[in-house]
Amino acid sequence: MAINVYVNFKGNCREAVEFYAEAFGAEKQKIMTFGEVPSNPEFPVSEETKNLVMHTFLNIKGSKFMFSDVPEGMPFTAGNNISLVITSKDVDEIKAIFNKLKVGGTIHMDLQETFWSKCYGFIIDKFGIGWQLSHED
């Protein structure tokens, strides 16, 4: 199991990741945009959002830092734009941790299969900390 950091930006994620890659001497990784995501009629992607970063990461000094732009319609508050990510190869472990962290918190995305993970969920715990739990093959 690993704990990683996820940082969100309001439209300038690509610029920030390039800056951090240079600052830390980290190898640039593939950038997935919202326009590359499989279409879903429940979550339409506007033309303005299609070029925003949906996900990328950098390995910085042995830790994985993940980055994304916040899509149109989702709240963004500078200072509250970081969440912790738990990855595990054990789905039962993910479920157990999620069920403990959600007590008194707010579920933003219940545990479910996504196109990037067999088991993924996102909550804000009762202390205001964002936690993303994800199965890792």
Closest by Cα among 115, 116, 119, 117 to 92: 119
CATH number belonging to domain 81-137: 3.30.720.110
Sequential pLDDT tens for the chain (137 residues): 778 899 999 999 999 999 899 988 899 999 999 999 888 888 888 888 999 999 999 998 888 999 999 988 888 887 778 888 888 899 999 999 999 999 999 999 999 999 999 999 999 988 777 889 999 88
What are the extents of the domains in the chain? 1-74, 81-137
Model pLDDT, residue 78: 76
1-74 matches 81-137 in fold: no
Q: Is the torsion defined by CA of 38, 122, 6, 134 positive or negative?
A: negative
pTM of the model: 0.73
Identify the CATH assignment for 1-74 out of 3.10.180.10, 3.40.50.720, 1.10.510.10, 3.30.420.40: 3.10.180.10
Amino acid 41: pLDDT? 84
pLDDT of residue 129: 78
